[in-house]
Amino acid sequence: MSSDIMLQIEHVSKEFHLGVIGYGTLYQDIQSWWARLCGHEDPNSIIGTKNHNADGKNNLFLALDDISFNVRRGETVGILGSNGAGKSTLFKIISQITYPSCGRIILRDRVASLLEVGTGFHTEMTGRQNIFMNGAILGMSRNEIINKFDQIVEFANIGKFIDTPVKRYSSGMFVRLAFAIAAHLESQILLIDEILAVGDVEFQKKCVKKMRELASEENRTVLLVSHNMESIRSLCKRVIYLENGKLILDTDNIENAIKHYSKEEIK
């Protein structure tokens, strides 16, 4: 394997059980036992609609279906696909928030991910405390975090609110701080899932500029999910296009990938 491959996805699939959750607690087990005893529907097995086959087995939803690709150091790769294509599931697997049903991923360095507003933040903690907590999660020493601290606060433009609990932050402040932490702390692989759509236009431009710097000057690897085709055109040299959990295209022809995506969105 080439030494500059930072991320390797090998035959990854992910299945979910539709409408079914695990019991997990004694209280839920007792609830389920009592419902069965009384001849009632189990309150812990059905979330919304009934999703059972005739043989009583739970339906399976294949969110990702045998996905394989590599990403090299310094690449900025766009991930395209309509809602439900598997983009967010893929990012959660790379971030190790969830695990594949089969296949494996190989990470060559630290990963920072921006998957949704507030992910990775403890809402009762201040902005300052969350910076140190996120740095520690990435395996950085206290001195390393201190050296980056002022840059993070300046980029996020939340100086006077840095010692305020983040539960009081607006969604825009959340995004600014989350991006600043991910971009400035020592992660070599950065995952961004449409989160920049929450920020204002000026901050989005600032983030695009920073992502270019990360890839070109710091040689970091960036994977970007976006429904903004101008961001994809501007930032990405390669696009992976997903459809119904399958990898349909892996190409450096950005316009061709956008054409596939646009046709799917119109359907």
Q: Is residue 113 domain-shared with residue 31, that is, in the same domain?
A: no
Structural domain includes residue 7 = no
Q: Is residue 77 domain-shared with residue 151, that is, in the same domain?
A: yes
Where does the chain have alpha helices with state H? 26-37, 87-94, 127-137, 142-156, 171-184, 201-216, 229-235, 254-266
Q: Is residue 27 domain-shared with residue 100, that is, in the same domain?
A: no
pLDDT at 55: 46
Structural domain includes residue 6 = no
Burial of 239 (0-12, 13-18, 19+ CB in 10 A): buried
Structural domain includes residue 54 = yes
- CA–CA dist 175, 114 (Å, integer): 9
Q: Is residue 38 domain-shared with residue 85, that is, in the same domain?
A: no
The predicted-structure confidence for 77-93, as pLDDT tens digits, reads as follows 999 998 889 998 999 89
pLDDT at 52: 43
Structural domain includes residue 65 = no
Range of the domain at 176: 73-266
Q: Is residue 149 domain-shared with residue 215, that is, in the same domain?
A: yes
Structural domain includes residue 152 = yes
Q: Is residue 34 domain-shared with residue 147, that is, in the same domain?
A: no
pLDDT at 56: 42
Q: Is residue 33 domain-shared with residue 115, that is, in the same domain?
A: no
Q: Is residue 141 domain-shared with residue 42, that is, in the same domain?
A: no
The CATH number given to whatever domain includes residue 230 is 3.40.50.300
155, 180 contact by CB (below 8 A): yes
User: What pTM value is reported for the model?
Assistant: 0.74
Structural domain includes residue 150 = yes
Structural domain includes residue 12 = no
Q: Is residue 169 domain-shared with residue 82, that is, in the same domain?
A: yes
Q: Is residue 193 domain-shared with residue 153, that is, in the same domain?
A: yes
Number of compact structural domains in the chain:
2
Q: Is residue 96 domain-shared with residue 215, that is, in the same domain?
A: yes
Backbone angles phi, psi at 33, to 5 degrees: -60, -45
Structural domain includes residue 66 = no
For 12, 55, 85, 99, 246, the CA distances from 63, given in Å and listed in that order, are 10, 23, 7, 12, 9
pLDDT at 138: 73
Each residue's pLDDT expressed in tens, for the chain with a length of 267 residues:
556 899 999 999 999 876 554 444 555 556 666 666 666 655 655 444 344 444 444 567 899 999 999 999 999 999 999 888 999 899 989 988 888 999 999 998 888 777 765 566 888 999 999 999 988 877 778 998 999 999 999 999 999 999 999 999 988 888 888 888 888 877 788 888 876 666 677 888 888 888 888 888 888 899 999 888 988 998 899 999 999 999 999 999 999 999 888 876 655
31, 38 contact by CB (below 8 A): no
Q: Is residue 29 domain-shared with residue 81, that is, in the same domain?
A: no
Q: How many CB atoms lie within 10 A of CB 154?
A: 12
79, 240 contact by CB (below 8 A): yes
Nearest to 241 by CA among 10, 78, 12: 78
